Amino acid sequence: MDELFEIFLGVKDLFIDGTERPLQRPKDKAKQKKNYSGKKKAHTRKNIVITDKNKRIGFLNPPEEGKRHDYSIFKDLFPPGLFPESITIWLDMAFIGIDKDYPEDAKEEAERQRIDD
């Protein structure tokens, strides 16, 4: 994670979002179930992306199963207290609950804005 902050040296705002990429429907029933996204109603793979306001991608995690929620992937990747207080983190509505799980990283509600897909 140190590399992330080296890439975004001096950045005050980071945008974190989950993305889904379509996948050809697997023939195996178990793989179908793992990769089916109820949100997209299709078989997908998910990634978490961290960018700055200049749209530079600083982090892209390896693809995850399409059925996993963006926030559960985020919790697995980033422990609480990782992001410095000097950085404002912008999230979409998929990350509701971050204030409870990450109290030291939580920003004022006025600072949080919905980012449309």
* Tens of pLDDT, residues 9-24: 888 889 999 999 998 9
Give a yes or no: residue 101 inside a domain. Answer: yes
Full-model pTM: 0.78
pLDDT value at 44 more than 80: yes
Over residues 55-73, the mean pLDDT reads 92
pLDDT at position 61: 94
Note down the domain range covering 15. 2-111
Give a yes or no: residue 95 inside a domain. Answer: yes
Give a yes or no: residue 71 inside a domain. Answer: yes
Q: Which amino acid is at 71?
A: Y
Average pLDDT, the chain: 83
Which DSSP state fits 64?
Answer: E
Of all residues in the chain, the percent with pLDDT exceeding 90 is 30
Domain tally for the chain?
A: 1
Over residues 33-43, the mean pLDDT reads 83
Give a yes or no: residue 116 inside a domain. Answer: no
pLDDT at position 1: 65
pLDDT at position 6: 82
Query: Cβ neighbours of residue 39 under 8 Å, at least 6 residues apart?
Result: 20
Three-class SS state of 66? coil
Give a yes or no: residue 117 inside a domain. Answer: no
